[in-house]
């Protein structure tokens, strides 16, 4: 089931009046930056971990056969590494549409790998959204991803492109890499 979050996100006024806002990306926002940005920096956020627990009915699956995409789940002491983008507020119209299937903007401290930190925004699909699928063994997640496709392409490409991007950044993510391995064996 889809759950359109555009209206809720548009009411988010935390950074009103700011000419530039930092956005933290941890999923497709790492490997598919289809929006203008002023600069980007490798970064991380604390106490969140990346999981393929969110259903995708609009990008990598369909209403009847959802795919699985990344969201963040809270985990004390965890660190999620990704890419931070400095953007102008106009870009949020595009991002709210792209992330509309359950993702909400959340204000968060973004720590840059080169040093320093800034408060910014991240899109998170929490467990109470209608498209949330939740925990499953990595092999089952791989099977679902292998058989899913949506308007943005094969679900497999999302997982593989993310795994490649993380590797290129020198990052480890056992959850993502295990699903990638299962996918390769399913081929």
- Within 10 Å of residue 156's Cβ, how many Cβ atoms? 20
In the list 5, 28, 101, 155, the residue contacting ligand SIN (rule: CB under 6 A) is: 28
Tell me the chain's radius of gyration from C-alpha atoms: 16
The rounded distance, in Å, linking the Cα atoms of 121 and 15 is 9
Verify binding: residue 29, ligand SIN, rule CB under 6 A: yes
- Minimum distance of ligand SIN from residue 84's CB (angstroms): 10
User: Is 120 within 8 Å of 50 (Cβ atoms)?
Assistant: no
Q: Tell me if 179 contacts ligand SIN by CB under 6 A.
A: no
Concatenated DSSP letters of 89-126: TTHHHHHHHHTTBT-EEEEEEEEETTS-EEEEEEEE--
Task: By CB under 6 A, name the one of 5, 22, 25, 148 that touches ligand SIN.
Answer: 25
Answer yes or no: 99 catalytic. yes
Nearer of residues 17 and 23 to ligand SIN, judged by Cβ? 23
Binding mask 41-80 for ligand SIN (x = CB under 6 A): ----------------------------xx----------
Residue 27 engages ligand SIN in binding (rule: CB under 6 A):
yes
């Amino acid at each position: 089931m889809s759950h359109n979050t555009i209206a809720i996100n548009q009411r988010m006024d935390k950074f009103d009046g700011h000419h530039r806002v930092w956005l933290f990306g941890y999923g497709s926002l790492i490997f598919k930056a289809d929006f203008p940005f002023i600069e980007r920096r490798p970064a991380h956020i604390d106490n969140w971990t990346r999981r393929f627990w969110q259903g995708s009915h609009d990008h990598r699956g369909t209403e009847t056969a959802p795919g699985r995409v990344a969201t963040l789940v809270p985990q004390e002491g965890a660190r999620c590494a990704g890419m931070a983008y400095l953007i102008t507020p106009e870009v949020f119209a595009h991002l709210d549409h792209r992330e509309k299937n359950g993702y909400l903007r959340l204000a968060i401290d973004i720590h840059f790998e080169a040093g320093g930190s800034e408060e910014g925004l991240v899109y998170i699909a929490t467990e109470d959204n209608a498209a949330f699928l939740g925990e499953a063994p990595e092999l089952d997640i791989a099977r679902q991803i292998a058989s899913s496709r949506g308007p943005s392409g094969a679900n497999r490409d999302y997982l593989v492109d993310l795994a490649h991007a993380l590797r290129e950044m020198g990052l480890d993510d056992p959850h993502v890499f295990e699903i990638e391995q299962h996918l390769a064996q399913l081929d």
